[in-house]
Structure 1
Amino acid sequence: MGSITPLDHSTLDDLRTGFEARPQNRLAMNAVTVAGIEKVALNYERARRLQRRFSVSVDNGAVTNQNRSGRCWLFSSLNVARFVAKKALNVKEFEFSQNYAMYFDKLERFNYFLGNMAGLITAGEPVDSRLFQHLLSDVMGDGGQWTMAMNVYRKYGAVPQDLFPETASSRNTGEMNVQLRSLLRTAVAHMSANPEDIESITADALRAGHRILTIHLGEPPRSFDWEWTDADGVFHRDGETTPVEFWKRYVDAGLEDYVCLVDDPRPEHPKGRKIGIEHLGNVVDGTPTEYLNVPNDFMKDCARRILSDLRIPVWFGADCHPMMDRENGAWATDLFSYGDVYDVDFDMDKETRVRFADSAMNHAMAFVGVDVDEDGTTTRRWRVENSWGDKIADKGYFTMSDDWFSEFVYELAVPRTMLPQEYLDALDKPAIMLPAWDPMGALAR
């Protein structure tokens, strides 16, 4: 291994001289220090041409707001579900309780983590191993996946938001998560020191976790009286209803049976094969978090067909940060000219970005529109329902160029019936299992 050369005064002088030798550097410094890099690097012409008109669009009403939480995967999946529920209820506006979904996800994840760690300790996994430390560092965040959301809805159903509204801690989960995380790590420390008492330590920790969650988020309803007035002014009353009954009655769209497609660009993970992530899940005995690795163009085709034929929003996961104009709600691969400002060539492709930790799925949203050329198959841009409130973008709706989809969209949830036979056969075969820290196991936040 070569030695690392320290920075000395001579090197610093060379760096300063090189900077001053290029007049554009000082011009860039003056502009960026005053206006910020996004305003300086913005490609005005590209932004102007990224129009907000779509040949296919499904209206899902006012956008939701996850506030200071990482619940985008729950918000986006419930945004798909509420589109279905609004039609079934014949109402213009409706919102599910994201707080209810998070409550049971965290309770289940608490139990899942304790069981997972107990198994590792019993098997003799070293406390300082990469796996053990990775699981401890990533515990009790807000992020998740489509399959994890369906595990929650299948087991616990859903309730209207006004029957279990947001709380201070659901809007801003940071402090609650700190306490839950500390509780879990304390329990694991006690398990490691006293493996013969794992069962009682787990039971005590679960009771404490439930107590903390209920104090922060409230006590979710077991049943409720459901009544509403529809868009035609007609009053309806269902009477006493459980959350599971409500979900089955008004979200009868087979969402729990959807398949997650993923675009893993690394050639060692073949297209047409199923991928799984070790130790990733939330509900014990729930559906495992697995994906079918497919070409990006197949994902586009599925999204386009769902919007055009089924007329329903499409859940997807992406790396939302690159080339994003958050204020105006736009994504395009050439929306910013960072390299021109810095005189740097950012030349990594999708595979290289994944391999060298520069990109991974980190945010979930829903497609609600697409602009298709006259040939019916070539897409120009996509309309996206986000969960960042209505004060930005087009009242909270974003526009994505088709080339940005290719580079930064990683995951899509689609009906199983949309898959060709070769992909259906692949679902019945064992998954290629990737380690817990693999980028394909990244969670949407």
Structure 2
Amino acid sequence: MTKSISTAQLKNFKNLLEKRNDHRVLERTVTQNGILASSCDYRAKVNTTPVFSIDLDTGKVADQKRSGRCWMFAALNTLRHDLRNRLNLPDEFELSQNFTFFWDKLEKANYFYENILQTADFPTSDRKVSWLLATPQQDGGQWDMIMGLIEKYGVVPKSAMPETHNSSASSEFNSLLNLKLRKDAVLLRELVQNKATKAQIEAKKEKMLAEVYRMAAYSFGEPPATFDFEYRDQANNYHLDRNLTPKEFFDKYLGWETKDYISVINGPTDDKPFNHMYTVDMLGNVVGGREVRHLNVDMDTFKKLAIKQLEAGESVWFGCDVGQASDRKQGIMDTELYHRDQLFDVDLSMSKAERLDYGESLMTHAMVLTGVDLLDGQPTKWKVENSWGDKVGTKGFFVMTDDWMNEYCYQIVINKNFLPDELKEVLKEEPKVLAPWDPMGSLA
């Protein structure tokens, strides 16, 4: 039965507030300074000094600017760390994020078209169809998606395909492309419902993809088929390698076994028992390419794997909910940073599983672990390379407390060689398919 707020209740609420001796002080504080500033604990700064017992030298941070490419920047950063160390490259060296961005937009358009065709007989009110149409594509992604692009197209240095206005500020392009994809969805669904032949549907889809290619080329520039790799190393020695294809460059200068790097998650909800494999329905970009696969483990195992990889000198791609208990300017991620519960005298406590199940948290951002502070073998805080430029944090690097990692980190990427034998066996199992809207399918 519907029950509205009564006049008597309103009077009681007011009386309860008036009985609090501090309510006028707190009202003045919060109204003038805001909730976060009023609840901020200065001791968080003391507890997050940027000093670490394991600290990898990774050069200068990158800047994704006004785009949602953190997953892409973080992945390319892990690649460039390795390349920089082996070739003694300058600190400023970067791989082209614009190159992978171009191909991601084209591949996501094709992925969307395929999903629209597969669901063409469902009404637009169907949950899967409405989920597809809500955001046909976006800038975000996951580790397996960037690896799928690299496996198909390779990589190039940033000098071979620099940033453009639209790669650095992608909202205009995203708005236009999503408009086109929704319009194309109308046409593709009509073709299926009107019993068009497979050849007719494929011809229409190919025309649509050619239009997306043209839109992306105008906005980002066309990706190079070949390029020259020219640079001076940190000893000022000159190097030149001519006429490389992007795949030749990756194979020659990086040579990673991309399939060795796997997504490890911590999703402690009842529907995802630990030590099993998971995938997500309708999540991906390259049709017929690499499938998104997650190995779910407990948090203790999660952190031990990250530490192992850092101890071996390799940085770690990770995904988290960066907006929770963090200060962007100071570069602090600490569960003790703000005490909103104490400020308002309300219980705001939720478990990690509850936050996932009830929509309070999910992965929103990807960065790179480049260090950790160990005390008696246990982590106390972590060094984080962000992709928001060097004007935030400590020259672009953040400090994350270990408790913050426990609560708001959901994914790391680990070379499978660091897994214990029992988890290597788990990798062989057929993954359980999660719904498209599962929080483990969120895009960083």
- TM bucket (normalised to shorter chain) is over 0.9
Name the residue aligned to 1:64: 62
Name the residue aligned to 2:391: 391
Equivalent residue of 2:255, what SS?
coil
Name the residue aligned to 1:173: 170
Matches within 5 A, 1:44-83: 44-83=42-81
- 8 A contact 2:266–2:297 mirrored in 1: yes
* Inter-CA distance 199–255: structure 2 relative to 1 (3 Å threshold): closer
- One-letter code aligned to 1:279: M
- 8 A contact 2:153–2:247 mirrored in 1: yes
Match of 1:90 among 88, 102, 118: 88
Name the residue aligned to 1:292: 295
Counterpart Cα distance in 1 of 2:33 and 2:251 = 51
- 8 A contact 1:365–1:386 mirrored in 2: yes
1:321 Cα deviation after fit: 1.1
Equivalent residue of 1:110, what SS?
helix
- 8 A contact 1:259–1:413 mirrored in 2: yes
1:8 Cα deviation after fit: 5.0
- One-letter code aligned to 1:111: N
Q: Report the TM-score when normalising by structure 1.
A: 0.95
Q: Which runs of 4+ in 1 moved over 6 A?
A: none
- 8 A contact 1:276–1:434 mirrored in 2: yes
Equivalent residue of 1:383, what SS?
strand
Counterpart Cα distance in 1 of 2:134 and 2:14 = 40
Counterpart Cα distance in 1 of 2:309 and 2:43 = 31
Name the residue aligned to 1:108: 107
- One-letter code aligned to 2:140: G
Match of 1:359 among 345, 361, 369: 361
- 8 A contact 1:227–1:238 mirrored in 2: yes
* Inter-CA distance 419–23: structure 2 relative to 1 (3 Å threshold): same
* Inter-CA distance 138–23: structure 2 relative to 1 (3 Å threshold): farther
Counterpart Cα distance in 2 of 1:220 and 1:20 = 66
1:125 Cα deviation after fit: 2.3
1:132 Cα deviation after fit: 0.6
Name the residue aligned to 1:262: 265
1:217 Cα deviation after fit: 0.7
Match of 1:221 among 217, 224, 233: 224
* Stretch moving more, 243-252 or 283-292: 243-252
Equivalent residue of 1:158, what SS?
coil
- 8 A contact 1:224–1:242 mirrored in 2: yes
Name the residue aligned to 2:406: 406
Match of 2:38 among 3, 23, 40: 40
- 8 A contact 1:365–1:387 mirrored in 2: yes
* Stretch moving more, 201-210 or 25-34: 25-34
Matches within 5 A, 1:414-425: 414-425=414-425
> RMSD over aligned Cα, in angstroms?
1.4
1:257 Cα deviation after fit: 2.4
Equivalent residue of 2:231, what SS?
strand
Counterpart Cα distance in 2 of 1:17 and 1:205 = 64
1:184 Cα deviation after fit: 0.6
Q: Deviations over 1:323-345 (max 9, x none)?
A: 10111111111111111111111
Counterpart Cα distance in 2 of 1:20 and 1:138 = 47
Counterpart Cα distance in 2 of 1:99 and 1:37 = 38
Name the residue aligned to 1:248: 251
1:256 Cα deviation after fit: 4.2
Equivalent residue of 1:51, what SS?
coil
- 8 A contact 1:187–1:201 mirrored in 2: no
1:29 Cα deviation after fit: 2.4
Matches within 5 A, 1:174-253: 174-195=171-192, 196=196, 197-253=200-256
* Stretch moving more, 226-235 or 381-390: 226-235
- 8 A contact 1:290–1:431 mirrored in 2: yes
1:165 Cα deviation after fit: 1.1
What residue ranges of structure 2 are gaps of 5+ in the alignment? none
Counterpart Cα distance in 2 of 1:44 and 1:232 = 43
Name the residue aligned to 1:438: 438
Counterpart Cα distance in 1 of 2:204 and 2:345 = 57
Equivalent residue of 2:310, what SS?
helix
1:11 Cα deviation after fit: 4.0
Q: Report the TM-score when normalising by structure 2.
A: 0.95
- 8 A contact 1:84–1:250 mirrored in 2: no
Q: Deviations over 1:118-163 (max 9, x none)?
A: 1221xx2222100110011122111100110111111111111122
Counterpart Cα distance in 2 of 1:412 and 1:236 = 34
Counterpart Cα distance in 2 of 1:293 and 1:139 = 28
Equivalent residue of 1:194, what SS?
helix
Counterpart Cα distance in 2 of 1:160 and 1:308 = 28
- One-letter code aligned to 2:131: H
- One-letter code aligned to 1:341: L
Counterpart Cα distance in 2 of 1:220 and 1:320 = 32
Match of 2:134 among 137, 151, 160: 137
Match of 1:341 among 337, 340, 343: 343
- One-letter code aligned to 1:185: R
- 8 A contact 1:258–1:413 mirrored in 2: yes
- 8 A contact 2:379–2:402 mirrored in 1: yes
Name the residue aligned to 2:24: 26
- One-letter code aligned to 1:430: E
